[in-house]
Amino acid sequence: MTFSLYDAVVPSNLQILAALDRLLDKAAAFCAERGEADADLIDARLAPDMLPFGYQVKSCAVHSIGGIEGVRAGAFSPDRSAWPTDFEGLHALLQSAMTRLAAFDRDTVDALADSDTHFAIGETRMPFTGANFLLSFSQPNFYFHATTAYAILRARGVKLGKRDFLGIPRTKG
C-alpha cells in the first residue's frame, strides 16, 4: 500500500470537524434548555490558564484547512484572530473548513509531502517537510483542540458520549 498524505489527514479532519459541528448543536440546545447565554459555554475553560471553548473550536479549523494551506504557502503561524462568539459563527467556521478541505484532491495534498514548510511564532522557527508538519504538528494540535472542546462541554454538563466525539467512522463500504 502506498502512503497517501491525503488519506492520513483529510478524511479524519472531515470526520472530526463534522462531529464538532454536531457538538455545537448539542451545546446550543443545552444553553437553551437551561436559559444560559451562548457565551457561558463559548467562554468556558477547563482551567484558568487554558483558552476557552470558542478558541478550541476555531483551532480545529486552523489546524485542518489552515495546516494544509500553510504547507502550500511554505509557512504556518498561529492564527491570533478572534474566534466567533456565538454558535452560528462557530458553525460557519467549521462549515467553511469542511467545504475547503473537501475541495482538495488526493494528488494536490500528496504533492505537499516533501515541500519545505516552517512553523513560525515570534522568533521561533521550526523547519519541516509538509508531511512531517501535518502529521507531527498540525494533526496532534487538531486532536488536542477537538478533545479539549469536547472535554469543556462534558465538564459543563452537556450530555455527550464517545460516539459524539468520533462522529461517523469511515467503515468498509
State the Cα angle at 131 between 1 and 9, rounded to 5°.
70
DSSP annotation string for 123-169: TEEEEEEHHHHIIIIIHHHHHHHHHHHHHHHHHHT----HHHHH-S-
Residue 2 pLDDT more than 90?
no
pLDDT, one tens digit per residue, over 11-32 is: 999 999 999 999 999 999 999 9
Per-position b or e across 96-130, b if 16+ CB within 10 A of its CB: ebbeebeebeeeebbebbeeebebeeeeeeeebbb
- Condensed to tens digits (0 to 9), the pLDDT of residues 55-113 reads 999 999 999 999 999 999 999 998 889 999 999 999 999 999 999 999 999 999 999 99
CB-based burial label for 27 (10 Å; 0-12, 13-18, 19+)? buried
CA distance 13 to 60: 9
**H helices of 3-161, where?**
5-34, 38-42, 53-73, 87-102, 106-110, 130-133, 139-156
Cβ of 92: how many Cβ atoms within 10 Å?
12
Q: What is the reported pLDDT for 173?
A: 78
Instruction: Give dist(CA 135, CA 122) in Å, integer.
Output: 22
Q: What is the pLDDT of residue 1?
A: 57
